[in-house]
Structure 1
């Protein structure tokens, strides 16, 4: 089942400015950044710590690249702030089905690609006491760590 808090997603208007705030204030550095066209966001993952299951915990900073993206629509109503919480799981498919069987709406019929080649799905906030909840199965952490090391070397 769920093994850790994988990340907390924070919506922001200016990704670079927000990254600088977390770097200057808390010393968090960007571990990974990407543009996710499907989700309509530019994002940065700030690593907080390693976890006992081989994963890690992050802050995920999200800047919408389109007004019609889910994050863009959310920000139009709510402004900047905590957008969602994500729990890590070894098997997003099995766990999302088990949660669906308990009456919680799962927003994607099949998990999709998330940050750092993870597999993700979301649970409806109205079924989770107002909290948009994400389930995440990380890509092979060792493979991602090696790929990130290669990026740093270049």
Structure 2
């Protein structure tokens, strides 16, 4: 079951420049890490007092998952992430409902203990969603 919107992911070729842009909004940097499963570096930002984040995602190696997005669309919105209570069941339910899975099984995400999986909702929205499960 979806619990809440966890974060909105923005793809960028230049993590430092994008971070400077978010700092203009007085957002606070809360976490950064590399995600080897996708070949990206991430940086999370929040409004004070809010748990929803903006995640900056940049390629960290030549085979990074976001290179295609950058080549086709340039920097900008990449995905909306939803926290779920059972990522395995919710991923299967998405597939049963017609979503196109990017990940058949969850991967280690960009925060400690986080499991993630991506799926496309289809052409009507063009939306890439990420399911996130903190294992709470």
Post-superposition shift, 1:48? 3.3
- Tell me the alpha carbon deviations over residues 103-141 of structure 1, each in whole angstroms, 9 at most, x when there is no partner: 22222221111111311111124366211111111254x
Post-superposition shift, 1:16? 1.1
Q: Is the 8 A contact 1:49 1:58 kept in 2?
A: no
Q: Is residue 19 of structure 1 aligned with residue 19 of structure 2?
A: yes
CA distance in 1: counterparts of 2:123 and 2:132, whole angstroms: 18
Q: Is the 8 A contact 2:91 2:131 kept in 1?
A: yes
The answer for unaligned runs of 5 or more in structure 1 is: 141-154
Helix, strand or coil for the counterpart of 1:97?
helix
CA distance in 2: counterparts of 1:68 and 1:97, whole angstroms: 27
* Structure ID, larger Rg: 1
Find the counterpart in structure 2 of residue 45 from structure 1.
44
CA distance in 2: counterparts of 1:84 and 1:49, whole angstroms: 22
Query: Which protein has the bigger helix share?
Result: 1
Q: 1:100 to 1:82 in 2, by over 3 A?
A: same
Q: Is the 8 A contact 2:115 2:134 kept in 1?
A: yes
TM-score (norm 1): 0.79
TM-score (norm 2): 0.88
- Tell me the alpha carbon deviations over residues 30-64 of structure 1, each in whole angstroms, 9 at most, x when there is no partner: 1110112221111101123667xxxx311000111
Query: Which protein has the bigger strand share?
Result: 2
Q: 1:136 to 1:127 in 2, by over 3 A?
A: farther
Query: What's the Cα RMSD here?
Result: 1.9
Find the counterpart in structure 2 of residue 93 from structure 1.
88
Give aligned pairs, total: 135
